[in-house]
């Protein structure tokens, strides 16, 4: 009796498993058809994601459903998910190696690998870029969209000519925010640029926006941007009876600008070291302003007022800005050799400083 019951139980379980398998196969096909419908209706990436989810579910329920793998790879390719698309196409070829479209799928995989390489190149360019005046810009990349931004661009007479009664021209001082919103097609860039409002004594120079075009080269580490911006005249009037006031803000001229950026800066730097501010373009030496305790600069033996005359054997005065910062930065854990002239010392000191990971520059204009 017990044997009979056991056999009945096994038979029942087998029948349930067969039914479950048949249901799974039916569900897989249902998700396949739903995925096709989603593609036909899709007008955006979010709707294509629905198709990818349906095809993905079909492959989970029926891992040997080759058509689901092919369609999944096709949608993933459209969504820019190149690595996932390659895996899906390869799984399709494993299941049907003699398929009529096998050659086309193999060619598609080669195309996807090329696109993947190009995306990796551009993604590797994310980070801090420097202008010729050493202004740092943050580059962020999302697909073919690029954002370059800074809140540290010093306002000069090229942007605003500020005058004061009886005094004449006076420096504006301070920094402005600048942002570029770009689309990349191959190496070509196009989009819009913007700068924030600028305070010039009692005057307020308005923010400005316009079109920009240029090129990007991962191999050369350069971004070139060309645009036109206004140079403003801002006049502050002195008053004996009331507060001084702004008498005029007007466009003095339209300037064509070509901005050449180099980057991205390597991720590691000497910590705890700062130099006396100023232009570092082909200067005879860099004067150390401060050295923090327990930093790699302090560990190397650097001191306040030291004059750094060479970096890794290259004279500072031979390095054009912003090359100095690239020579000071490098890979995490690497060392840089600084040739230092110290007061009271006749010979140059050779100090080795270790580079550590450095926080990324994040301007407000990038948010």
pLDDT digits (tens, 9 = 90+) for 30-56: 999 999 999 999 888 888 999 999 999
Which of 119, 147, 169 terminates a domain? The answer is: 119
Decide if pLDDT at 340 tops 80: yes
Give the confidence band of 22 by pLDDT, cuts at 50, 70, 90. low
30 & 103 share domain:
yes
Whether the pLDDT of residue 182 is over 80: the answer is yes
Give SS3 for 333. coil
Confidence of residue 1 (pLDDT cuts 50, 70, 90): very low
Q: Are residues 177 and 71 in the same domain?
A: no
CATH number for 83 = 1.25.40.10
Same domain, 184 and 217: yes
The answer to whether residue 237 sits within a structural domain is yes
Read off the CATH number of the domain in which 146 is found.
2.40.128
Average pLDDT of the chain? Answer: 89
Instruction: Give the residue from 231, 262, 293 where a domain finishes.
Output: 262
Residues 341 and 256 in one domain: no
Asked if pLDDT for residue 23 goes beyond 60, the answer is no
Same domain, 43 and 138: no
| 77 φ/ψ angles, rounded to the nearest 5 degrees | -65, -45
Considering the domain architecture, whether residues 135 and 113 belong to the same structural domain is answered as no
Distance CA 84, CA 80 (A): 9
Q: What is the pLDDT of residue 19?
A: 42
* pLDDT recorded at residue 199: 95
| Residues 206 and 303 both lie in one domain | no
What pLDDT, on a 0 to 100 scale, did the predictor assign at position 271? 94
Residues 190 and 283 in one domain: no
Q: Is residue 6 part of a domain?
A: yes
Of 358 and 293, the structure prediction assigns the larger pLDDT to: 293
CA distance 268 to 356: 5
Which of the four pLDDT bands, split at 50, 70 and 90, describes residue 239? confident
**If pLDDT is split at 50, 70 and 90, which confidence band does 358 have?**
confident
Do 252 and 131 belong together in one domain?
yes
Q: How confident is the model at residue 279 (pLDDT cuts 50, 70, 90)?
A: confident
Give the count of domains, the chain. 3
Nearest to 367 by CA among 136, 129, 150, 122: 150
**CATH number where 315 lies:** 2.30.42.10
User: Is a pLDDT exceeding 80 seen at residue 9?
Assistant: no
The answer to whether residues 74 and 138 belong to one domain is no
Res 297: pLDDT: 96
Q: What is the mean pLDDT of residues 52-66?
A: 94
365 domain residue, yes or no: no
pLDDT over 70 (residue 203): yes
Asked if residue 366 is part of any domain, the answer here is no
- Between 10 and 150, the higher pLDDT residue: 150
**pLDDT score at 4:** 35
Domain final residue, candidates 119, 139, 172? 119
Which residues, at least 6 apart from 72, have a Cβ–Cβ distance to it below 8 Å?
Answer: 35, 52, 55, 56, 58, 59, 88
Would residue 169 count as lying in a domain? yes
Query: Which pLDDT score is estimated for 18?
Result: 44
Residue 365: its pLDDT value, please? 56
- Residue 154 is part of which domain span? 127-262
Per-residue pLDDT at 68 exceeds 70 = yes
Domain for residue 175, yes or no?
Answer: yes
Q: What is the pLDDT of residue 329?
A: 93
Distance CA 45, CA 40 (A): 13
| Distance between CA atoms of residues 37 and 25, nearest Å | 19
Question: Does residue 70 share a domain with residue 144?
Answer: no
Residues 172 and 113 in one domain: no
Q: Is residue 143 part of a domain?
A: yes
- Percent of the chain at pLDDT > 90 equals 72
If you search the block for the tokens 């402005």, which residue do you land on? Answer: 176
Domain presence at residue 367: no
Question: Comparing 11-15, 90-94, 107-111, 161-165, which segment has the lowest mean pLDDT?
Answer: 11-15
């Amino acid at each position: 009796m017990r044997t009979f019951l056991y056999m009945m139980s096994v038979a029942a379980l087998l029948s349930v498993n067969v039914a479950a398998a048949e249901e799974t196969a039916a569900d897989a096909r249902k998700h396949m058809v739903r995925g096709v419908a989603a593609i036909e209706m899709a007008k955006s990436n979010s709707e294509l994601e629905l198709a990818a989810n349906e095809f993905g579910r079909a492959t989970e329920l029926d891992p040997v459903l080759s058509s689901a793998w092919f369609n999944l790879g096709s949608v993933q390719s459209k969504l820019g998910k190149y690595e996932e698309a390659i895996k899906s196409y390869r799984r399709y070829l494993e299941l049907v190696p003699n398929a009529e479209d096998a050659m086309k799928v193999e060619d598609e995989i080669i195309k996807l690998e090329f696109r993947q390489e190009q995306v990796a190149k551009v993604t590797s360019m994310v980070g801090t870029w420097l202008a010729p005046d050493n202004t740092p810009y943050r580059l962020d990349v999302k697909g073919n969209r690029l954002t370059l931004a800074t809140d540290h661009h010093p306002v000069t007479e090229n942007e605003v000519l500020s005058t004061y009664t009886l005094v004449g021209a006076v420096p504006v001082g301070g920094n402005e925010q600048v942002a570029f919103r770009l689309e990349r097609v191959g190496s070509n860039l196009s989009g819009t640029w913007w700068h924030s409002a600028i305070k010039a004594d009692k005057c307020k120079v308005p923010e400005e926006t316009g079109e920009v075009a240029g090129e990007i080269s991962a191999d050369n580490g350069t971004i070139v941007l060309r645009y036109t911006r206004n140079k403003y005249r801002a006049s502050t009037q002195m008053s004996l009876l009331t507060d001084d006031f702004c008498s005029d803000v007007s466009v003095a001229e339209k300037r064509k600008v070509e901005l050449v950026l180099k980057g991205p800066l390597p991720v590691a730097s000497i910590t705890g070291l700062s130099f006396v501010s100023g232009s570092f373009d082909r200067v005879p030496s860099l004067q150390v302003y401060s050295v923090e305790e327990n930093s790699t600069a302090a560990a190397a033996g650097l001191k306040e007022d030291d004059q750094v005359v060479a970096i890794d054997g290259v004279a500072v005065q031979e390095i054009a800005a912003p090359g100095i910062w690239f020579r000071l930065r490098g890979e995490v854990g690497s060392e840089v050799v600084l040739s230092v002239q110290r007061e009271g010392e006749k010979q140059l000191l050779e100090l080795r400083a270790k580079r550590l990971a450095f926080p990324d520059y994040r301007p407000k204009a990038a948010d």
